[in-house]
Structure 1
Amino acid sequence: MIAFIFHYIANNPFVFLFLAISLGYPLGKISIKGINLGATAGTLLVSVLIALSAFSFYGLTIDAPGLVSDIFLMMFMYAIGMKVGPQFFSGLARGGMDFVVIGLIVVFSNFIIVFWGAKLFNLAPGYAAGIISGSYTVTAVMGVAQSAITSGAFKAPNGITLDQVSANIAAGYAISYILSSIFIILLIKYLPTLFGKDPIQAGAQAEKDFGSGQDNEALPSTAGFSNLGVLPLDVRAYRVEHEELVNQTPESLYQLYPQATVLRVVRQNKVLKAVDNPKLQLGDIIGVRGQYHQLIAESESHIGTEVDEPRARNIDIEVADLHLGHSPYIGRPIAQLSQDIGFGLYLKALFRQGHQLPILPQTQIEMGDVIRVAGSDWCVQQAASKLNCTPIVESTLTETFYLALSLLIGYICGHLSVNISGIPFALGTSAGCMLTGIIFSFLRTRNPAFGGPMSEGARSFLQDIGLSLFVAVLATSVGPKILDSFQGIVVIKIAILGLIGALIPPLLAWLYGFYIRKMNPAILAGACAGARNSTPAMKGAQEICQSDIPAIGYPVPYALTSMLVLILGYLSMVMY
């Protein structure tokens, strides 16, 4: 039966691909003390084990179509470009320069350590790129390294085949990925303590300086994002009994009392909506929306007697995501945003690059951010108009058009090659698609008429399925040969180099931020995690600080290094 299963898989490569993903995803989610492989590494491990077992026990090779690998890798790179595009440019252009420097320190020191360390250890071609990919926990580096092989930019020396080079990439990645995934979490998590700082106190101080965080919310355009949930708000009805309210409008009252918003006015038998901004009169009954304790404690003394008037209280509330493009509010703090456009709205969450940020009054909003609000439809539309955006509802046609156009342009640009000192350099089709994704994302967020920011649900799907199918196809060629990459003490060399490349760069960045820039340790820990592209490390920092504040430092270095590490991974192949 086992022999039949392996023969069937070998004769039907698509069964192999779907089997690898269906087993790899749950394997990658298994967590031991908060540490897991992740879906992509789990898929790679399962794929290698199946391919290696088929070859070792039955002499079978699985011939998965290379076209599948190429297409899905390009789709993955496009999705990465769409994710980091807006924050990549805005992070370079304004503010966060310390975050930019931290990212540069980490990505270039990692390249120097791994590339020259591989030379020093006399490792065969392919190992350096694999160790960069694993030590940085960025599987996509394997993709650009593989594209250097397929494009001809990398020439294998005598005595080694291209398949063996690919196996070396996978071997270097597998060992260094596992080790760095574990130890980077521990390093980032305990850096404040190692340098004599109380992480809880650092998180509390940062929250005091900036504000407070929010509960976790579903990512934009994913299941449950529009759930209203439980809000700390209520709508209560009061009769206007104080002369100082006469001739005031809902808008003018909002400027005076932003914590309590007048959403409806009942005058005799007429119901007046606040959108018309009517002037109040004595005897009007108004529906006021605000925090429970403020309405209970203060409203009767400021407005009048509370009454039971359903027409003033029964106001429909909806949840909407506002995808920010080009807007005059870009670069301004949340506090100003709330004051200017927050009429009748409750700010539920703020997202950047698919990560939820704590809502802090001093946090600057950036192009590509997603703001989740709860309020009446007309309040949402009014805020969207002021922000020069609309609650985006993506269409399949729009996403398919941009995806196809980006892949077309990226493939053509990446396929072009130039010779420098006799060495052919090509951007690579996968890197070309990532760059077009960055450009398209930047243009779309600046001009919502182009479709607006990409749906996070669609983008996440392209990213996950694209990379998983790429590594599954890669495993069919490297699986039978990966054991040859573990001869002698090469495993020890990979482990040492991978750990040094994973841990020393963020430590150098920490020293810069801690001693030179005097940054808050909680925010600095998040920045070091972002520069290392490690979301689990950032979550570890949040856990030890007992605060969401480390997320503030994460996005800018993450966006910067996400692109640079791919370029350096490619160079590690053509320069080796």
Structure 2
Amino acid sequence: MSWFTATLRSYPEIAIFLSLGVGYWVGGKSYRGFSLGAVTATLLAAIAIGQLGIVISSNVKSVFFLMFLFAVGYGVGPQFVRGIAKDGLPQAIFSVVQCVLCLAAPYVAAKIAGYDVGSAAGLFAGSQTISASMGLATDAINRVGLPADETKRLLDAMPTAYAVTYIFGTIGSALILATLGPKLLGIDLVAACKEYESRFGGEKELGGTGQAWHQYALRAYRIADQGAVVGMTVAQAEATSPEGMRLYVERIRRGGVVQEAKIDDVLQPGDVVAIIGRREQLVQVLGSRGAEVDDPELLAVPAEGVDVYVTNKEVEGKTLRELGTLPAARGVFLRKIKRGATETPIPVLPNTQLHRGDTVTLVGRTQDTTAAAKTLGVLDRPTNAADIAFVGFAITLGALIGAVVIKVGAVPITLSTAGGALIAGIVFGWLRAIHPTFGRIPEPTIWFMNSVGLNVFIAVVGVTAGPGFVRGLQQLGISLFLWGIFATAVPLILGMFIAKYVFKFHPALLLGICAGARTTTAALGMICDAAKSQVPGLGYTVTYAVGNTLLTIWGMVIIMLLT
């Protein structure tokens, strides 16, 4: 054991990886639906390892924290700008109101309880489950100009308060929004979502990855001698589909020769046609009248499901019903829409609007999906390469701007390098959505920058603060936990009533809007489970983008308010 301890002290980088290993392993376990999560588990593991007296350079956490903040900004950039400038303005304004409440409650708790600024920052970060705010709070405490030992004491108190209040911050927010919220507001969440879906013509998507049944099918049918479509062009035949159904002729076998179907091709008796559409529509329309045949060669169509990143300004704000009438929509089916940094699934409804920054999954022949992608934006095919030059220059630019200090009297005003990196991520993420010709960062890389970047920062914080953790827990313990409940519950309860009676949001979206403003993904999951629908996710993305930015910045603001 002495050799192990000496080794960790000599090579502190091992302690970081050990903290990550334990944190991700423990954080991935769950008991009756409850999980600590990687961040909290990593922090607790690091605090335990820190009891060995390991010293780690603060530069390590700074590097990974800048990487994390840039990735956060890059992910929410398109939704943040759209939410401020476009139709999401009421939701964005509500998110600001909710974030102010989330700052006020911990501030009041800290003042009444008499906590120092380190404990107050940890109370805020834990009760609002916004780990990133501790980075800005750390920068703010370092700039106060206190003696080194006092600064260290405050910084050590922060993760202690965070760890004590985070657990209820996570579980409590989910229970308040998903379980208590509908009762307080008198909302029948399931009925509200069904009404919303019914109003906009939505229906639940069935099938998917890992299932034998697939929503879209390509089948071959022989045209009878006296068939209803004999003598019609392909376009005319497709137009005979009942309203709301989309069936397309993709290929034709005529005289033993297979050819790609063109919209002006005239259908003849004996032709075997390959028709694509939703499975139930094929059965309903053609099952009783068409003679289905087995024709492997005809059905050997190059098809794919691809993600398309929406960037075309002509598409912005248009409904799926409107887009379905475009020539490029022929032969293409929309399976999924993802929106925002958390890739929130958006219901595929006729009146659902597409926005720049959305990612849509299209199904169809390769040539059809390629044509549709040109109309919508750009194909976002999987890639292992990230534009690291872009990442490096963007973080550098943001950090340089953030490093500028402007003094207003005796008060230094600065974004800090961390705040600069966050804003750089927002700006460049938005630019990437409009001009996707630079700055490609694959989804796995974004995940790494987000998750590992934050957890390395948390690990260094925990290892460094480890020796003072037990002492701080003994001093603050149960009272801090109770104040954490207050700081978590009060803003959410007030926010729900404000959302209903002041902003008058639709009941199906209201709780998702509140969850986004508090950036609690766990709560959104429970809300959608309770609603038996993904509709609440429609209100999550804009408020999440605003809330994630403001709550992170509040880590610096609460220090300024208390000093």
Q: TM-score, normalised by structure 1?
A: 0.89
Partner of 2:536: 550
Q: Is 1:359 equivalent to 2:351 in the alignment?
A: no
Where does residue 3 of structure 2 map in the other structure?
4
Structure 2 unaligned runs (5+)? none
* Alignment correspondent of 1:74: 66
Q: Is the 8 A contact 2:207 2:215 kept in 1?
A: no
Quote the offset at 1:349 in angstroms. 1.7
- Contact 2:106 / 2:120 at 8 angstroms: preserved in 1? yes
Q: Single out whichever of 321-330 and 236-245 deviates more from structure 2.
A: 236-245
Which of 409, 414, 418 is matched with 2:402 structurally? Answer: 414
Contact 2:126–2:164 under 8 Å retained in 1: yes
Residue equivalent to 2:203: 212
Alpha-carbon distance change, 497 to 338 in structure 1, aligned in 2, over 3 angstroms: farther
Q: Specify whether residues 345 and 45 from structure 1 end up closer, same or farther in structure 2 by C-alpha distance, changes over 3 A only.
A: same
Q: Please report how far the alpha carbon of residue 251 of structure 1 lies from its aligned counterpart in structure 2 after TM superposition.
A: 8.5
Q: Give the 3 Å change call, closer, same or farther, for CA 465–216 of structure 1 in structure 2.
A: farther
**Matched residue, 1:177:** 166
Could you give the per-residue CA deviations for residues 489-540 of structure 1, whole angstroms, max 9, x where no partner exists?
x334432332222222222221122234443333211111111111111111
| Structure 2 Cα separation of the partners of residues 300 and 200 of structure 1 | 34
1:44 CA drift (Å):
0.7
Alignment partner, residue 267 of structure 2? 281
Aligned to 1:220: none
Give the partner amino acid of 1:320.
V
Correspondence for 1:155: 145
Alignment-mate amino acid for residue 47 of structure 1 = A
Residue of structure 1 in register with 2:48 after alignment: 49
Q: Deviations over 1:89-109 (max 9, x none)?
A: 111222233322331121011
Cα distance, 1:436 vs. partner?
0.6
| Closer, same or farther: CA 74–245 of 1 in aligned 2, 3 Å | farther
Which residue of 2 is the match for residue 330 of structure 1? Answer: 316
Distance 1:326 1:166, change over 3 A: farther
Post-superposition Cα deviations, 1:27-54, rounded to whole Å, max 9, x if no partner, equal 11222332222111111110001112x1
Contact 2:306 / 2:381 at 8 angstroms: preserved in 1?
A: no
2:214 is aligned with 1:231: yes
* Aligned partners of 1:523 and 1:552 also within 8 Å: yes
Task: Report what 1:531 is aligned to.
Answer: 517
Cα distance in structure 2, aligned partners of 1:319 and 1:228: 15
2:229–2:267 Cα contact (<8 Å) kept: no
The aligned runs of 1:344-423 (5 Å cut-off) are 344-352=331-339, 353=341, 354-394=343-383, 396=385, 398-423=386-411
- Whole-angstrom CA distance in 2 between matches of 1:479 and 1:516: 45
Amino acid of the structure 2 residue aligned with 1:67: N
Aligned partners of 1:371, 1:494: CA distance in 2, in Å? 45
Could you tell me how far 1:260 is from its partner in structure 2?
A: 1.0
1:99-148 deviations in whole A, cap 9, x for unaligned? 22331121011112222331232211222221221111011001111122
- Cα 1:213–1:423 change in 2 (3 A) is farther
Quick one: structure 1 residues 327 and 269, their matched pair in 2 at CA, closer, same or farther if it must change by over 3 Å? Answer: farther
Aligned partner of 2:302 in structure 1 is 316
- Distance in 1, matches of 2:84 and 2:237, equals 39
Are residues 334 and 36 of structure 1, via their aligned partners in 2, closer, same or farther at CA, if it must alter by over 3 Å?
Answer: farther
**Residues 389, 477 of structure 1: alpha-carbon distance in 2 compared, 3 angstrom cutoff:** same
Matched, 1:494 2:473: no
Secondary structure of the residue that 1:495 maps to in structure 2? helix
In the alignment, is residue 102 of structure 1 matched against residue 94 of structure 2?
A: yes
Whether the aligned pair in 2 keeps the contact of 1:213 and 1:360 (CA below 8 Å) is no
CA distance in 1, matches of 2:73, 2:44: 26
C-alpha distance in structure 2 between counterparts of 1:447 and 1:216, whole Å: 34
Which of 409, 413, 419 aligns to 1:431? It is: 419
CA distance in 1, matches of 2:60, 2:236: 57
Change (3 A) 1:251 1:63: farther
Residues 393 and 545 of structure 1: CA distance in aligned 2, closer, same or farther (over 3 Å): closer
Partner of residue 298 from structure 1, selected from 280, 285, 299 = 285
Aligned mates of 2:421, 2:69 — CA distance in 1: 6
Query: Cα–Cα, structure 1 residues 133 and 339, in superposed 2: closer, same or farther, change >3 Å?
Result: farther
Deviations, residues 328-370 of structure 1 (Å, cap 9, x unaligned)? 1122223333443432233222111223233233222222111
Report the Cα offset of residue 23 of structure 1.
0.5
Separation of aligned partners in 2, 1:6 and 1:520: 57
Distance in 1 of aligned mates of 2:473 and 2:22:
25
Aligned partner of residue 104 in structure 1, secondary structure: helix
Displacement of 1:404 after TM fit?
Answer: 0.5
Q: Is contact 1:238-1:300 (8 Å) kept?
A: no
Distance 2:109 2:280 in 1: 61
Pairwise CA RMSD of aligned residues? Answer: 2.5
What is the letter of the counterpart of residue 246 of structure 1?
G
Q: Deviations over 1:364-389 (max 9, x none)?
A: 22221111122211111011011132
Conserved 8 A contact 1:239-1:307: yes
Partners in 1 of 2:31 and 2:267 — Cα distance?
Answer: 64
8 Å contact kept, 1:98–1:513: no
Per mean C-alpha deviation after superposition, the further-off stretch among 233-242 and 85-94 is 233-242
- 1:234 is paired with a residue of what secondary structure? strand
TM-score by length of 2: 0.91
Q: Does 1:457 align with 2:444?
A: yes
Change (3 A) 1:293 1:256: closer
* 1:425 to partner: Cα distance: 1.9
1:57 matched residue in structure 2:
none
State the one-letter code of the partner of 1:437: G
Aligned amino acid, residue 293 of structure 1: E
Range moving further from structure 2, 317-326 or 379-388: 317-326
1:447 aligns to 2:435 (yes or no): yes
Unpaired runs of at least 5, structure 1: 55-60, 218-223
CA contact (8 A) 2:338 2:344 kept: yes
Farther-moved stretch of structure 1 (406-415 vs 71-80): 406-415
1:508 is matched with 494
Q: Aligned in 2, Cα 1:245/1:433: closer, same or farther, shift over 3 Å?
A: farther
* 1:249–1:76 distance in 2 versus 1, CA, 3 Å: same
- C-alpha deviation, 1:83, in angstroms: 1.0
1:229 to 1:406, Cα distance in 2 relative to 1, 3 A: farther
**Structure 1 residues 384 and 101, CA, compared in 2 at 3 Å: closer, same or farther?**
same
Aligned to 1:473: 460
